[in-house]
Amino acid sequence: MTEVVDVSARRQAFIDGLFFRVVACSFLEVVIFATALSSGLPLMSFTPPMVVVAGVGSLDLLYWYAGKRRGFPLGDFYVHWIIDLLGISFTIYSLGGLDVPYGPFIYSMIVITSATFMSRTGSYVIAGSAALCLIGLGIGVRVGILPPPTPVWSHHYSWAGEIAVLIGAIIFFFMNAYLAGTLSDQLKMAKGEIEGHNRLLEQRVQERTRELEARTLELQDRTDELEELVHIVTHDLQNVAVASTETARKLVDIDGAQLSKRGQRYADRLIRDCRLMTTMLRNLLEVVSQTEVAEPRELVDVNAVVRDAVGRAHTAIESKGIEVVIGDLPPVRAEEQKITHVFDNLVTNACKYVGDKTQPRIEISGEAHNGTIDYIVHDNGIGIAENQMGRIFQLYHRAPEQSVAGVVQQGYGIGLAVVKRIVQRYGGRIWVESVEGEGSSFHLSFPRGDR
- Residue 411 burial by CB count (10 A; 0-12/13-18/19+): exposed, middle or buried? middle
Q: Is 406 left (phi over 0), alpha (psi -120 to 50) or beta?
A: left
Q: What is the pLDDT of residue 225?
A: 74
Q: Across the chain, what does the average pLDDT equal?
A: 79
Secondary structure element (H or E) that encloses residue 144, with its range? none
Among 117-121, 199-203, 210-214, where is mean pLDDT lowest? Answer: 117-121
The radius of gyration of the chain's CA atoms, rounded to the nearest angstrom, is 45
Answer positive or negative: Cα dihedral of 149, 151, 154, 158.
positive
Q: What is the pLDDT of residue 71?
A: 65
Per-residue pLDDT reduced to its tens digit, 359-390:
899 999 999 988 899 999 999 988 888 888 87
Q: In this model, does residue 292 exceed pLDDT 60? A: no
Q: In this model, does residue 263 exceed pLDDT 70? A: yes
Per-residue pLDDT reduced to its tens digit, 151-163:
666 667 777 877 8
User: Which is more confidently placed, 339 or 90?
Assistant: 339
pLDDT band at 3 (very low <50, low <70, confident <90, very high): very low
Residue range 195-223: mean pLDDT, rounded: 88
Residue range 292-320: mean pLDDT, rounded: 84
Q: What is the pLDDT of residue 16?
A: 64
Q: What is the pLDDT of residue 4?
A: 43
Answer yes or no: are the C-beta atoms of 184 and 124 closer than 8 Å. no
List, in order of start, the domains of the chain with CATH numbers.
Answer: 1-289 (no CATH), 298-447 (3.30.565.10)
Per-residue pLDDT reduced to its tens digit, 56-113:
777 777 776 666 666 666 666 667 777 778 877 877 777 777 777 767 777 777 787 7
User: Which is more confidently placed, 323 or 286?
Assistant: 323
Q: In this model, does residue 293 exceed pLDDT 50? A: no
Q: Using the CB atoms, write b or e for 341-361: b if 16+ within 10 Å.
A: bbbbbbbebbbbbbbebeebb
Share of the chain above pLDDT 90, in %: 17
pTM: 0.47
Instruction: Give the ranges where 256-301 is alpha helix by DSSP (H).
Output: 261-289
User: Which is more confidently placed, 101 or 346?
Assistant: 346
Q: What is the pLDDT of residue 1?
A: 41
User: Which is more confidently placed, 303 or 183?
Assistant: 303
Answer positive or negative: Cα dihedral of 169, 173, 174, 175.
positive
Per-residue pLDDT reduced to its tens digit, 38-55:
766 676 667 766 776 777
